[in-house]
Each structure stands twice: as C-alpha cells, then as structure tokens.
Structure 1
Amino acid sequence: MRLSILDQAPISSNQTAQEALYESMKLAQMGEKLGYTRYWIAEHHDLPGLACPAPEVMLSYIGANTSTIRIGSGAVLLPHYKPYKVAEVYNMLATLFPGRIDIGIGRAPGGSAEASNALSNNFLQQVWNMPNSVTELLHFLENDFPNDHEFKNLTASPIPPVQPAPWLLGTSKKSALLAAEKGMSYAFGQFMSENNGPEIVQQYLDTFQPRKQGQKPEVIVTVNVICAETDEKALEIAISAIVWSLQKGKGEGNGVPSIAEASQYPLYKKDLQNLEKILGNMIIGNPKKVIKKLYERASLFLADEIMIVTITHSPEDRVKSYQLIAEEAFQI
C-alpha cells in the first residue's frame, strides 16, 4: 500500500503563517525521508488558520528543499483560473523538478463567496464549464490540440521533459464520472465527505475511458488520521483538530487550538451531534490500529494509495504521527 501526505498548511494558535509554511516544508522533507510517495498541498482563500492560497508558490519552495518525493497541488481550484495559465505554471514546475510534479484539479471555491468574487468572475458559470476547462487543460499539458482548434499553435511553455501528472479531486459522483470520462486519475476526499465513497469510486472504475493506450484507472483515497504511541495519547492530541473543526463550522477561532485550549471549549447540544460526525470521519489510534484501518479503507475503496491529512496543534505531534505510521507500514 502506497502512502502519501496531504497538507493544508494549518496555522496553530501560537504560530505565524511564516512558521506554519516552514513546518510544511519540513513535513515534506520528512515524508521523503520516510518513504511517502507524494506530498500535496491544498489551496484555500481567506480562511483563518490555513496558510496556503497559492500551492504553486509553495511547491517551488518545497521542490527546492526535497529531491525525490512527488509534489503537487491538492488541488488547483480550476474555476478560478484560465487553463492556459495553470498549464504554464505546472509545466514550469515540471521543468524545474522533472518527473516529480502532480497537478490535482478541483472545482470547490476554497473560501467564501467574497473571496470567489475577488478571485474571478462568474465562479458558478465556470463550475458548470468545468468539463470543458479540464479538457482544455489536458490539451495544453499534452500539447495535442486538434488541428482545427483555435489554440493549435499555442504551447504552454516551457515544455518539460516529463509532463505533470493530472489528477481530478472530488467527493461526488459528478467528479468521479468526469475523471473517468477524461481518463484522469481520481482522488476521493473521504476526509471531507459524507457520501458513499466506495460506490462513487466504483463508478469511476466502471466507466473509466483511457486517454492513452495502456492507461489504467488509478485511485487515491484521502483520510484524516492522528497516530500516537497509544490510543489515549492519539485521542488527546486529536482534540485540537476536533475542536478546530467545530470552530470553523461556526466561523470561530484563528488557528488550531492547543490541547489545553481545546479542552476548555464549551460544547453545546448541536456541537455534540457534529462531534460524532467528525470522529466518525477520522482514524485515531496507535500505529498498529491505524495501519489496520488504513488497509481496511484501501480495500473498501479499491484504492491504489492512501493519502493522509493530519492536523495537530504541535508540529512535533504531526511529524510524529506520520513517522509512526511509516515505521509500522514500511517496517522501517
């Protein structure tokens, strides 16, 4: 089972954004050292507690400080951007870091309606136009527009020795069917979905249409995990992420709270209902328990790879979680 990292670049309550981004770079270095397949960083806009609105900038920084791990976006929120510009940016990254660049594509706004309006015009119209935008992006990445297309003589320079690997990210039947139709690899965000994930992934596998000869469908499932030496320690660490999730849902908080801060957070009846959902969508425990559940999740989703997102207040706890998982999974 391949394991990878999804980083949302969280800012803890005692951190600056600069410190959080530095910890993201260190996390990528650690992932490379421990044998994780890839490191992706997410795109968010005007969300307190998340430090990365521009994955392409961070990927330049992370690529320069790593050497072998695949790096990519999780995801480029395509409705905000023109496909040509996205292709140029990721072709340039693939030129700087050959054979290492993934380009994950998503359709979510990544922030508030105000942020969407500030970023681009007609966001909802661009969401509806997503299939056409994806097609255009793939043609730019593969430099293979039909002879009758208006962009047939346009290249997204520089053309890298190995093109970025395109992935479509999503949590719905619509995203799965689009990935299958376009012959793209598919990453299902189980950590942020209440939908029937295995059924959605099966629809992707059943309807996959290869773009190139010999191409096969490929599936990543992203899960929310916190691992520590014992179940009790993992649950203690997880309280920061759990409370922060509750706070975000209510527009509260300015960063991931400490364990002490989270322990003092007042819980109301509605919070308890949401708490049950949050816990049901997380894997929390000791290394053996976590690995067992990851294998179960991979089998359930028919996944080729599990991507792990871990939110903790302490950067050391986050690194330790990934380290314990890798040591158990890879028998380091």
Structure 2
Amino acid sequence: MKLSILDQSPISSNQTAQEALQYSMKLAQAGEAFGYTRYWIAEHHDLSGLACSAPEVMLSYIGAHTTKIRIGAGAVLLPYYRPYKVAEQFNTLATLFPGRIDIGIGRAPGGSAEASNALTDNFLQQIWAMPNLVEELLHFIENDFPADHMFAKLSASPLPEISPMLWMLGTSKKSALLAGSKGLAYSFGQFMSDKDGAEIIQQYRDAFISKKKGEQAQVILTVSAICAETTEKAEEIAQSSLIWSLQRLEGKGEQGVPSKQEAKEYGLNDQQKEKLEKMKEKMIIGNPKEVRGKLESMQAHYKADEIMITTVAHNPDERIYSYQLIAEKLLI
C-alpha cells in the first residue's frame, strides 16, 4: 500500500504559528524517513489555528530539508490565481527539486467570505470558469499551447526537466468528472465528505480520458487517522482534534488545538455530543492493528491506489508517532 501525508499545519494551544510551520517541516522529514510517498500541505486563509496560507512558500522550505519524498500543495485554490503564476511557481519548485513536485488543485474558498473578497474580486465567476483555468494551467505546465493560441509564445519559466504532476482534489461528482475529462489524477477527500466516495471515484475512472500514451487514472483517498499504542491512548489524543473541530464549527477555536486535559474539561451539551460522534465516524482511531485493518478495508472499498492521511493532535510528537506506527504496520 502507498501511504502519503496531508498536513493542515495546525497550531496547538501552546504553540506559535512559527513553531507549527517548523513542525510541518519535521513531519515531512519524518514521513520521508518512514517511507511515505508524498507530503502535501494545505492552503487556508485567516482560519484560526491553521498556519499555512502559502503552500508554495512552505514547499521551498520543506524541499530544502528533504531529499526524495514528493512534495506538493493540497490544494492550490485555483479560482484565486492566474494559472500562469501558479505554473511559474511550481515550475520553479520542480526545477529546484526535480521529479518531486505535485500540484493539487481545488476550488474551495479555504477561508471566510472576507478572505475571498480580499484575494479576488470575482471568486464566484472564477468557480464557474474552473474548467478553463485547469485547461490553461495544464497547457502552461506542459508548455504545449496550440500555435494559434494567444499564449503560444509564452513560457512559464523556468521550464523543468520533469514537469510537476497535477492532481484534482475534491469531494463531489463535479470535481471527479472534471479530473477525468482533463486526464488528471484525482484525490478524494473522504475525511471531509458525507457523500458516497466509492461511487464518485468510479465516476472519475469512467470519465477518465488519457491525454498521453500509457497514462492511467490514479486515485488518492484522503482520510483522517490517529494511531497510538493502545486504542484508549488514540481515543484520548483524538479528543483534542474533535473538540477543536467542534469549536471551529461554532466560530471558536482561536486558541488552537486544545491539550488532552483541556479537551477532557471542555463542557459538552447533548447537541454537541451528537455532532462529536458524527465527526468521529469519519475518523480512523485505534491501535496499529486496528488502524491497519481499517485502512486496508477502505482501500479495497474505494479501490484507491494510495491512501493519504491527515492527523491532528495537540502534541506534535504524538502526531509524528501516529504516522510512524502506521508506517511500521504498512510500509516498513
């Protein structure tokens, strides 16, 4: 099984944003040592408790401190940007770190309406233009605009020897069909979806049109997982993540991921308890044997080529250890 890491760069209640970003680099280094295939970092804007608003900046830092793990954005929120600039940024990264760069692209706002308005004057229009934005980005990455195109003589320099690999990220039929029609690899965010992911992934495979000889559909399934030596310990660690998710849903969580003690002391009413249980159903929580079984079962059910894991914990060392325990059962 191929395993990878999605890092949201969470800030714990006892951390600064600088410390959270430094731990993101340490997580990438650990993932490389454990045998993970790729490390992606997410893009968020003015969301309390999340440190990374500029994946392209973090990837240069992480690439310089790793040697072989693939690194990428999960995702570049394309409606905010001109495809040419995205291509320039990631071609530069691919020139610096040959054969290691992924561009995960998405259309979510990644923040508040105020943040969207600050980033662009026409976010909703750009959402509708997403197929065209993707097509333009593909041509800039491959440097293959038709001769009569207005950008035919324009290159997103520097042009790397190995182009970045494009992935479409999503949780819907629309994103799956767009990925398939453009011949892109597809990453389904199971951890943030209530939809039938297996059906959506199959729709992607059915819609896939190969743009290059030998190119095949590729699927990453992204899940939320926390692993510890015992189920009880994993449940305790997970409670911090769950309470923080609940706080963020209620417009709180400014203090970051709470400690285990803070999570334990957090008062919950019946409605909050019900929400917490529903969120917990989307997560994989357990000891190494339990987590391995659940991941293998999910891979078979979704027919995924690769599993990407996102883990949130108050203690960054426990977060890294969770990835280590999973790797020891499935990779090492």
Same fold, judged at TM 0.5 (above): yes
Tell me the TM-score normalized by structure 2: 0.99
SS in 1 for 2:88: helix
Report the residue type matching 1:80 in the other structure: Y
Paired residue for 1:240? Answer: 240
Q: Find the counterpart in structure 2 of residue 309 from structure 1.
A: 310
Q: Residue 68 of structure 1 corresponds to which residue in structure 2?
A: 68
1:254-265 equivalences in 2 (<5 Å): 254=254, 255-265=256-266
- Aligned AA (1:108): A
Displaced runs of 4+ in structure 1, greater than 2 A? none
Matching residue of 1:183: 183
Q: Which residue of structure 2 aligns with residue 101 of structure 1?
A: 101
Question: Helix, strand or coil: the match of 1:91?
Answer: helix
Q: Secondary structure at the match of 1:44?
A: coil
Q: Deviations over 1:105-126 (max 9, x none)?
A: 0000000000000011110100
Specify the code of the residue in structure 1 equivalent to 2:284.
Answer: I
- Number of residues paired by the alignment? 331
Cross-structure match for 1:91: 91
Name the structure 2 match of 1:270. 271
CA distance in 2, matches of 1:164, 1:237: 36
Alignment pair present for 1:195 and 2:167? no
Deviations 1:262-301 (A, max 9, x none): 1111112221221121111000000011011001111111
SS in 2 for 1:236: helix
1:287 aligns with 2:284: no
Q: Deviations over 1:157-179 (max 9, x none)?
A: 00001000000000000000000
Report whether the alignment pairs 1:250 with 2:253.
no
Q: Which residue of 2 aligns with 1:167?
A: 167
The equivalent of 2:301 in structure 1 is 300
Question: For residues 157 and 144 of structure 1, what CA distance do their matches in structure 2 show?
Answer: 13
Instruction: Give the counterpart letter for 2:110 in structure 1.
Output: G
For residue 40 of structure 2, give the secondary structure of its aligned residue in structure 1: strand
Residue type of the alignment partner of 2:232: E
CA RMSD of aligned residues (A): 0.6
Within 1, Cα distance between the matches of 2:178 and 2:253? 36
Amino acid at match of 1:206: D
1:329 equivalenced with 2:327 (yes/no): no
Q: Secondary structure at the match of 1:166?
A: strand
SS in 1 for 2:71: strand
C-alpha displacement of 1:316: 0.9
1-structure distance, mates of 2:282, 2:218: 23
Residue matched to 2:133: 133
**In structure 2, what is the Cα distance between the partners aligned to 1:45 and 1:23?**
19
The superposition leaves residues 75-116 of structure 1 with CA deviations (integer Å, 9 ceiling, x where unpaired) of 000000000000000000000000000000000000000000
**Structure 1 segment 211-226 matched on structure 2, within 5 A:** 211-226=211-226
Q: Which runs of 5+ in 2 are unaligned?
A: none
* Secondary structure class of the residue paired with 1:45: coil
Q: Distance in 2 between matches of 1:231 and 1:119?
A: 43
* TM-superposition CA deviations, 1:222-278 (whole Å, max 9, x none): 000000001000001100000000000001122000011111111122212211211
Matched, 1:50 2:29: no
Q: Matches of 2:180 and 2:207 in 1, distance apart?
A: 6
- How many angstroms apart in 2 are the aligned matches of 1:59 and 1:151? 27
Q: Give the distance between the partners of 1:96 and 1:104, measured in 2 at CA.
A: 18
Structure 1 portions without partners, runs of 5+: none
Q: Which position in structure 2 is the counterpart of 1:208?
A: 208
Q: Which amino acid aligns with 1:55?
A: P
CA distance in 2, matches of 1:158, 1:235: 47
CA deviations on 1:141-162 (whole Å, 9 max, x unpaired) are: 0000011111000000000010
Q: For each residue in 1:186-226, what CA deviation from the matched residue of structure 2 results, as whole angstroms up to 9, or x when unmatched?
A: 00000000011000000001111011111100000000000
Q: Secondary structure at the match of 1:306?
A: strand
Aligned to 2:111: 111
**1:8 corresponds to 2:8:** yes
